[in-house]
């Protein structure tokens, strides 16, 4: 008998309590993959039940804000297929990302081309596939759009200065409030269709109140547009939302300030559609990376005659690194190191100061400069969680090392073995979607992945 979603009495706190069970399920999958695939290629385990949780939690906290997933964060085709099934739309920044979203089953109307600077070729391509919603922040871009794609629906991107964030963006994109008025006048003179305002407070924003200030600034631009003769209908809140395990508290604060500011400046029923561009929030905590120790070397400082073990340092050489999953800035997304050892192994081994090196020959290819780990042996594994954001998408293949494989858990059966799990269709309906075609691709892949037999829900 089919179980309707309302009978499951889903609640965010209940889902959060299942994190330990979910983590154990992921570890079960990792150990199974190691036993079946005993080779030297690193691999991810993608827990798609975590994606479901994030999407539902977003809807519970930001009911008026439509998420447009930032494809640049993690363009895994299976992830994009899942998001299409759930009715999530997409923020794309290039022809390749537009192709990826369309290939996953998205409609052109599901995409915002949210790069303020677009090449002539990419702009022509967007016009050819009818992706007509896009951002701009300067005069030259308006003139380019007028020449190539004058039918586009445009969103002016404003800069939000002085916001503490892991990756500030106001120094690269966005116009000042003073320039916004000049640009809107120019756009009107060019007979271009500007429909709204966008901003980005910076990736991994550290100041939840920044969203309220940015929404207030956007309202000023809406008022400017009214005076000029435009009637804006779209507000894009950009990204900046955290997604690592344990980050929901700061996300809750962001939601509080966003909802308060929307109620003040863009009350429900005002006719303004509100969207946002979460990337890390959706993907970060759902991907776990498993790396193998390919080599080790024990070093010591010259002044360790006293035998202090913590003055010794062990170098470990892993099968992934800075040119793979551990690219620029990965440490800011909340990774955690977990040696794949039993409790008895951890208790019996000395704890050493350690440095984790990447796989390539480059001397700059290291993962962690200094950490404490139980002594590991060659052939053992180290697990890193919170590895779904800006990891797969930044791999280079340098030195001929392969990109990690990905195994998909949807959802891990062991996490729900004492629970009645509703059909996937009910999750889609709960999120306002009935688009199951893309999910069929995921199920088909899972059901025919011999390495993952009996680890996945198949029906």
Task: Return the pLDDT at 449.
Answer: 46
Task: Return the pLDDT at 451.
Answer: 44
284 is catalytic: no
Q: Which of 291, 361, 371, 428 is catalytic?
A: 361
Task: Return the pLDDT at 129.
Answer: 97
Task: Return the pLDDT at 309.
Answer: 52
Task: Return the pLDDT at 441.
Answer: 58
Task: Return the pLDDT at 20.
Answer: 66
- Helix/strand/coil (H, E, C) string of the chain? CCCCHHHHCCCHHHHHHCHHHHHHHHHHHHHHHHHHCCCCCCEEEEEHHHHHHHHHHHHHHCCCEEEEEEHHHCCCHHHHHHHHHCCCEEEECCHHHHHHHHHCCCCHHHEEECCCCCCHHHHHHHHHCCCCEEEECCHHHHHHHHHHCCCCEEEEEECCCCCCEEECCCCCCCECHHHHHHHHHHHHHCCCEEEEEECCCCEEECCCCHHHHHHHHHHHHHHHHHHHCCCCCEEECCCCCCCCCCCHHHHHHHHHHHHHHHHHHCCCCCCCEEEECCCHHHHHHHEEEEEEEEEEEEEECCCCCCCCHHHEEEEEEECCCCCCCCCCCHHHHCCEEEECCCHHHHHHCCEEEEEEECCCCCCCCEEEEEEEEECCCCCCEEEEECCCCCCHHHCCCHHHCCCCEEEEECCCHHHHCCCCCCCHHHHHHHCCCCCCHHHHHHHHHHHCCHHHCCCCCCC
Average pLDDT, 10 consecutive residues per value, the chain (459 residues): 34 56 76 78 90 90 96 94 92 97 95 96 97 96 97 96 74 91 96 96 84 95 95 95 90 96 96 96 95 90 53 89 89 88 92 93 92 94 94 90 85 44 69 71 51 37
């Amino acid at each position: 008998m089919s179980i309707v979603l309302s009978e499951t009495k889903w609640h965010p706190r209940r889902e959060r309590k299942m994190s330990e069970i979910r983590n154990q399920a992921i570890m079960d999958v990792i150990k199974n993959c190691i036993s079946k695939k005993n080779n030297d290629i690193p691999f991810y385990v993608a827990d798609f039940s975590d994606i479901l949780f994030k999407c539902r939690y977003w809807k519970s906290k930001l009911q008026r804000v439509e998420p447009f997933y930032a494809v640049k964060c993690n363009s895994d085709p299976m992830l994009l297929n899942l998001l299409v099934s759930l009715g999530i739309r997409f923020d794309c920044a290039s022809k390749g990302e537009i192709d990826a979203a369309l290939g996953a089953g998205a409609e052109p109307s599901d995409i915002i081309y949210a790069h303020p600077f677009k090449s002539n070729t990419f702009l022509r391509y967007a016009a050819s596939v009818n992706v007509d919603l896009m951002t701009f922040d300067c005069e030259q871009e308006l003139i380019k759009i007028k020449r190539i794609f004058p039918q586009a629906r445009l969103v002016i991107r404003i800069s939000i200065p002085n916001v503490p964030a892991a990756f500030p963006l106001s120094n690269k994109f966005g116009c000042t409030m003073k320039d916004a008025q000049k640009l809107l006048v120019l756009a009107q003179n060019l007979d271009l269709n500007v429909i709204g305002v966008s901003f980005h407070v910076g990736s991994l924003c550290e100041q939840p109140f920044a969203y309220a200030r940015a929404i207030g600034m956007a309202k000023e631009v809406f008022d400017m547009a009214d005076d000029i003769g435009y009637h804006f209908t779209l507000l894009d809140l950009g990204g900046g939302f955290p997604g690592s395990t344990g980050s929901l508290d700061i996300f809750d604060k962001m939601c509080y300030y966003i909802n308060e500011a929307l109620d003040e400046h863009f009350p429900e029923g005002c006719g303004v559609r509100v969207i946002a561009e979460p990337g890390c929030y959706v993907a970060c905590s759902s991907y776990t990376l498993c790396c193998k120790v390919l080599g080790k070397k024990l070093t010591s400082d010259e002044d360790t005659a006293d035998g202090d073990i913590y003055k010794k340092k062990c170098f470990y050489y892993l099968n992934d690194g800075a040119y793979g999953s551990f690219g620029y800035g990965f440490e800011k997304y909340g990774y955690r190191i977990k040696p794949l050892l039993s409790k008895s192994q951890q208790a019996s081994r000395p704890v050493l100061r350690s440095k984790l090196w990447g796989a390539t020959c480059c001397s700059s290819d290291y993962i962690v400069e200094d950490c404490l780990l139980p002594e590991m042996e060659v052939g053992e594994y180290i697990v890193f969680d919170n590895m779904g954001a800006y990891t797969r998408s930044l791999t280079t293949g340098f030195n001929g090392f392969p990109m990690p494989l990905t195994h998909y858990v949807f959802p891990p059966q062991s996490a729900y073995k004492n629970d009645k799990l509703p059909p996937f269709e009910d999750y889609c309906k709960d999120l306002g979607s009935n688009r199951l075609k893309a999910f069929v691709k995921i199920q088909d892949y899972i059901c025919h992945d011999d390495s993952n037999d009996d680890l996945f829900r198949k029906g």
